[in-house]
Amino acid sequence: MSPLEPLIDGHGRPIGDVRVSVTDRCNFRCQYCMPAEGLAWLERPQLLTYEELERLVRLLAAMGVHDVRLTGGEPLVRRELWRLVERLAALEDVHDLSLTTNGYLLAKQVDELVAAGLRRVNVSLDALAPDRFFQLTRRDSLAQVLAGLAAAQRHPELRPIKVNVVALKGFTEPEVVRFAEFARERPFEVRFIEFMPLDADQAWDMDQVLPNDEIRAMIDAVYPLVADDRPAHATATTWRFADGRGRIGFVSPVSVPFCDDCNRIRITADGMLRTCLFSLHETDLRGLMRDGGDDGELEAAIREAVWSKELKHRINDPGFRQPARSMSRIGG
């Protein structure tokens, strides 16, 4: 596809990153995300097909959205995900193709995914102690997640490998130094992510947020840290261990929002365009495609939605409203 005019929002921010959810289903039941009994899943006809996903990504990439991350739910429960990876990796305008996963199925699928063109992976891992892992995820699956990380590590094409840790006050503190040592001993970048109001129970409270400044102080007291510069549009600030043994990252959307240079949009598994994690409005791209809309109509709908992209998420503002969709239904 020939290059199109860059995609820019109404605040002058160029959009360069799209998070594409391929399913709302998940094989874990993490307490900060969904109830123990799970949620009512989308029916298969409601999901975008791989052909529809490829069409949207091709169009977005032609508008300068060159970074594509596949998410869920748990993306690896979508059948033969490598086929979608192969389609997207073949697009000339897709420069970075990555995946966020809970890692449970990664060891079984990573060879096919890398062969298809996957180049980066983030693995969610919120505890290193087996009993605490079970407490949070409601699954006795830590060994499988660690096996998935080890399998990914065997592929030099997958770099960097990042480990995402959602930090919860009253739970994560005993894990902090353990994760720092994990980052020092293995070639992974551990990233602590502040707990956001995206839980299905809508029970989020500011008192449950463990600020990253506190986590960083805990680590620095044991293993001194040195700050890196933050690249434009980055979600994380990164710090190097002063002795050179690895680095660690902090994603702080609650305590230190990074909305000013946000360049991200999201497509849900059922084909809704969201311009912010906390959007209260969506644009139905699936309906437009299935009603016969051409690429010009799709482009116009995307540009109109993105022009109205929120200036900030307003978590810390009075009257903040949590979106109806939880994280698993939006796509991380």
List pLDDT tens digits, range 203-232.
778 889 999 999 999 999 999 999 999 888
pLDDT value, residue 36: 78
pLDDT value, residue 47: 98
pLDDT value, residue 261: 92
Q: Write down the mean pLDDT value for the chain.
A: 94
pLDDT value, residue 323: 84
Class of domain 17-330: alpha beta
d(CA 149, CA 296): 41
d(CA 13, CA 5): 14
Tokens of residue 3, six digits = 């290059």
pLDDT value, residue 144: 98
pLDDT value, residue 120: 97
Name the helix (H) or strand (E) containing 131: helix 130-137
Q: Which pLDDT tens digit goes with each residue over 149-206?
A: 999 999 999 999 999 999 999 999 999 999 999 999 999 999 999 998 876 777 778 8
pLDDT value, residue 11: 97
Predicted structure pTM score: 0.95
| Helix, strand, coil shares, percent, the chain, to 5 | 35, 20, 50
Q: Is the peptide bond before 160 cis (omega within 30 degrees of 0)?
A: yes
Q: How far is CA 326 from CA 3, 55, 203, in A?
A: 34, 26, 11
d(CA 75, CA 69): 11
pLDDT value, residue 1: 81
d(CA 16, CA 94): 10
Low-confidence ranges of the chain (pLDDT < 70): 199
